[in-house]
Structure 1
Amino acid sequence: MERRTFLRGTVIAGGSAAFGGSLWRGAAVAAPAQPGASPYGALGAADANGIQLPSGFTSRVIARTGQRVAGTSYTWHPAPDGGACYADGTGWIYVSNSEVSTTGGAGAVRFDSSGGITGAYRILDGTNVNCAGGATPWRTWLSCEEVSLGYVYETDPWGVNAAVRRPAMGRFKHEAAAVDPVRRVVYLTEDETDGCFYRFVPTTWGDLSSGRLEVMVGGSGTSGPVSWTAVPDPDGSPTVTRRQVSSAKRFNGGEGCYYADGTCWFTTKGDGRVWAYDAVSSSISLAYDDSLVTSGTPPLTGVDNVTGSSSGDLFVAEDGGNMEICVITPEGVVAPFLRVNGQSSSEITGPAFSPDGGRLYFSSQRGTSGSSSGGITYEVTGPFRG
């Protein structure tokens, strides 16, 4: 089954993306976000690409599954999913997973300083249902397999070095990853109805070949202190990782994951929640819960991939819902940022900002056709809050 997700606990040009974590820690503990007016204004009419955007924003199609990326020889992969951006001299690179079985892998598009496409190529081959993942401070892309006993693969966004499988990071139904450079760990989500939230502690920072896989423990509540316990057998055989620690905290369908400024944000699609893990105090809270919206219809449903901007805004993509990317502000307001029309059998995947914060990349995994062969990858440009 094709699902979504992205990750991007992203680090751009070797530094952790700025994010208003100190504001968020207080806001998230106080109460989950509620509907309100978007800081970007109301959505306008659909543009030529079928995308509704706030005033001042424009969209363009970057790539389509089965077609060559403009000006290159690379045929864009099916079911584009999780992604991230990397600074590349005066330009940047956007990487994208392919969430199909057997031939999943990942590809990349290179841009010059003005946003022109200068190249596209494959960075990972022969892997299985590559859903989301995450960027590292040493500028690699962690591509995660969303299958039972799936692996994490460490790949080179420039396509020069061969991808490397990282079994020490555990074998389970991986979704997304996010790197915490302060505590020197990698957070990992798991797409199971009784899934767990993990962190990987490398033996040597910057080397993911060995280390300790830990699972979050801390009861069944939605807020309060948590702790971590080592997973005895990260290989997940004969006992799957999520069942090895009886006190492990359960999450219903882990999806996107994003770290900044002491907080790791992750989503769970089974209960429509956006969680905040405060790594400083080792506690969790809810940043959003669609069942706790106090008035009107929840603007954000089918929570999936998540990323953030330098202003402290979270951008959460929908798997289903009404095909929106919604913004959650540090002040606790949730509102639509964009809506994709005519693609109700798809999902939004892979949101990631260019290094300068002025362009947002994302994909409609199945496009207008509703199949993995119909994927479309977009770029949105405009006055994002700095």
Structure 2
Amino acid sequence: MAFSRRRFFALAGTTAATLVVGDALKGLYARAQGTAITTDAYGPLIPDPNGLLDLPRGFQYRAFSRTGDFMSDGNSVPGGHDGMAAFAGPNRSVILVRNHELSPNSTTEVIGNRYDEFCKGGTTTLIVGPDRKLIRDYASLAGTYRNCAGGPTPWGSWISCEENTSTPETTPETIEQPANSGIFVPNPNKVSKRHGYNFEVPALRRPKNGTVDPVPLVEMGRFNHEAVAIDPRTGIVYETEDQGDSLFYRFIPNQPGNLQAGGILEALKIKDMPKVNTKTNFPVRKSFEAEWVRIEDYDPDKDTVRKEGFEKGAAQFARGEGIWYGNGEFYFCATSGGANSGGQVWRYIPGRNAQEGGTIELFVEPNDKSILDMPDNIVVAPFGDLILCEDGDDDQFVVGVTPKGELYKFARNAINDREFAGACFSPDGQTLFVNIQTPGITFAIWGPWNKA
């Protein structure tokens, strides 16, 4: 999907990736110390009589697109609802492109033009009306492996990320089961192609065959991808990796707006701190200069991209997951960072161009799982807060962080203890869309956002 440079920058301000964020957000880190500060920004959560979603008073939701429902293309809604983004559609509609984190042995699957005949992950696309009711839905990417998160582009597409690096060689057709039994059975996770890539899914047009031609964006790297966010000024793509010793990457495209044209993959290094592990004992609120080291072997046979970067001095992060762009800055979660592995949020401010390294700082680290328990997906709200999706133990919450650095519970999963995912706002900023991964349900939430 090629775009002219003029077209790219014309579109840069029109999608959910570039929601305007108030200057107050920059004051967020002023009180984000190791000791967390909490607030009842919207008041206490009210138990939901339907047992789905507890919200503050004055807010309401609509639930739709549940696993097993029939879609407009005749297929069933697959499970594993995960990362998601919202785009402006015709007639005031909202287009959602949603990931499905499914493995070859999953009980549900995305049906369509497959990248890998054995894999069941991919994306579905949902058209939601201005009344927040589902108009239609259909499969849009199929045959990929564990599509966890991703990110919207300024030119109106979704980058879907595979969180798996399986190859045909690493998943033989049969496995010994149980171990040392001499009995070999079909391998439920067999694959026919290499995995660990990103795929692009257009939001504003549906391919003729229903699903996109699944083309891996190889030069963006082969690793356990989690999420991406794009700088609309430069077209540089920032990428997270879900590993305990993950790196933070950027992809400099040869042609901004055309990721299939290839580019350069790099990993972030903190100046004068080579090979630093940022999980614990890292100062909060202190800004560090960033440098970038080039990844030469971006498509290795084994999962070694992060090993190459670390040997060149790149910084390690404890499970990089959700990332979002807002107001010229990037915020990403290190899900198991911190002294209690309860999670961190990092803030990266890019330079004016690829030659400038930018700065990075540890933004939030509460170290109290009753306040924040392993944040995963993240979105910068149009009113300035960060909205975090928990993927921890026990009860799961959507957690907000105010411009003053105060954390609050905004929503609770009243069904079970499974994770929230895919938080994103409608282009008009009035509706928060979010998923409960299992059983897969998508919610539209609205109410008095300006109250806080």
Normalised by the size of structure 1, how large is the TM-score?
Answer: 0.88
Distance 1:378 1:154, change over 3 A: same
- Pairing 1:128-277 to 2, within 5 Å after superposition: 128-148=145-165, 150-157=196-203, 158-160=205-207, 162-209=213-260, 210-218=262-270, 219=273, 220=276, 222=282, 223=286, 224-237=288-301, 240-245=304-309, 246=311, 247-271=313-337, 272-277=343-348
Equivalent position to 2:60, from 58, 65, 79: 58
**Equivalent residue pairs, number:** 363
**Match for residue 107 of structure 2?**
none
Paired amino acid for 1:352: C
Deviation at 1:229, TM superposition (A): 1.4
Give the 3 Å change call, closer, same or farther, for CA 266–92 of structure 1 in structure 2: same
Distance 1:179 1:38, change over 3 A: farther
Quote the Cα distance in structure 1 between the aligned partners of 2:358 and 2:370.
Answer: 29
- Structure 1 runs of 4+ with >4 Å offset: none
For the 8 Å contact 1:49–1:59, the answer to whether it is kept is no
2:355 is aligned with 1:282: no
Q: Give the distance between the partners of 2:31 and 2:361, measured in 1 at CA.
A: 9
Give the letter aligned to residue 232 of structure 1: E
* Cα displacement (A) at 1:163: 4.0
Distance across 1 between alignment mates of 2:219 and 2:40: 42
Measure how far apart 1:314 and its partner are.
0.6
In structure 2, the gaps of 5 or more residues are 1-11, 104-118, 166-194, 338-342, 352-356
Please say if 1:316 is aligned against 2:388. Answer: yes
Q: Deviations over 1:2-35 (max 9, x none)?
A: xxxxxxxx97537711123x54445426644833
SS of 1:165's equivalent in the other structure is: coil
Aligned residues of 1:11 and 1:136 also touching (Cα < 8 A):
no
2:230 and 2:17 mapped to 1: Cα distance? 11
Give CA-to-partner distance per residue, 1:256-310, whole Å, 9 cap, x none: 010111211000112211111122482212221132x5xxx64111210001211
- Distance in 1, matches of 2:124 and 2:422, equals 12
Amino acid at match of 1:28: Y
Report what 2:113 is aligned to: none
Q: Deviations over 1:333-373 (max 9, x none)?
A: 111011112311x111111111111111111111xxxxxxx
The one-letter code sitting in structure 1 at the alignment partner of 2:304 is: V
1:227 Cα deviation after fit: 1.2
Deviations 1:206-249 (A, max 9, x none): 01021111100113354422111111111133571101132011
Letter of the 1:284 counterpart: I
2: CA distance between counterparts of 1:14 and 1:256?
Answer: 15
1:307 to 1:208, Cα distance in 2 relative to 1, 3 A: same
In structure 2, what residue type is equivalent to 1:261?
A: N
Counterparts of 1:341-352 in structure 2 under 5 Å? 341-344=414-417, 346-352=418-424
Counterpart amino acid of residue 48 in structure 1: N
5 Å-filtered alignment, 1:28-177, equals 28=29, 31-32=32-33, 34-69=36-71, 73-89=74-90, 90-101=92-103, 102-148=119-165, 150-157=196-203, 158-160=205-207, 162-177=213-228
Task: State the SS of the aligned residue for 1:226.
Answer: strand
Q: Is the 8 A contact 2:425 2:431 kept in 1?
A: yes
**Counterpart contact for 2:230–2:325, Cα < 8 Å:** yes
| Pairing partner for 1:333 from 376, 386, 406 | 406
Counterpart-to-counterpart distance in 2, 1:15 and 1:132? 14
Contact 2:145 2:162 in 1 (8 A): yes
Q: Distance in 2 between matches of 1:51 and 1:238?
A: 41
Match of 1:7 in 2: none
**Contact 1:14-1:138 at 8 Å conserved across structures:** no
1: CA distance, partners of 2:396 / 2:17: 31
How far did residue 252 of structure 1 move?
0.8
Structure 1 residues 13 and 27, CA, compared in 2 at 3 Å: closer, same or farther?
closer
1:15-34 matches, within 5 Å, as 16-20=18-22, 22-28=23-29, 31-32=32-33, 34=36
CA-to-aligned-CA distance 1:114-151 (integer Å, 9 cap, x gap): 22321100110111110000000110110000012500
Distance, in Å, in 2 between the alignment partners of 1:244 and 1:80 is: 32
What is the root-mean-square deviation in Å for CA atoms of aligned residues?
2.2
- After TM superposition, the structure 1 stretch with the greater mean CA deviation from structure 2, 198-207 or 55-64, is 55-64
Task: Provide the rounded CA distance (Å) in 2 between the counterparts of 1:30 and 1:362.
Answer: 27
The 1:30–1:256 alpha-carbon spacing in structure 2 relative to 1, beyond 3 Å, is: same
What amino acid maps onto 2:415 in structure 1? G
In 2, the alpha carbon distance for the partners of 1:63 and 1:49 equals 17
Partner residue in 1 for 2:15:
13
Question: What secondary structure is seen at the aligned counterpart in 1 of 2:46?
Answer: coil
Contact 1:186–1:201 under 8 Å retained in 2: yes
Q: CA deviation at 1:311?
A: 1.0
Read off the aligned partner of 1:188 and give its amino acid letter: E
Give yes or no for contact 2:32–2:365 (8 Å, CA) kept in 1: no
Secondary structure in 1 matching 2:65? strand
Distance in 2 (alpha carbons) for counterparts of 1:347 and 1:216 = 29
SS at match of 2:56: coil
| C-alpha contact (below 8 Å) 2:61/2:446 kept by paired residues | yes
Structure 1 CA distance for aligned equivalents of residues 46 and 421 of structure 2: 22
Distance 2:16 2:255 in 1: 17
Q: CA deviation at 1:171?
A: 0.4
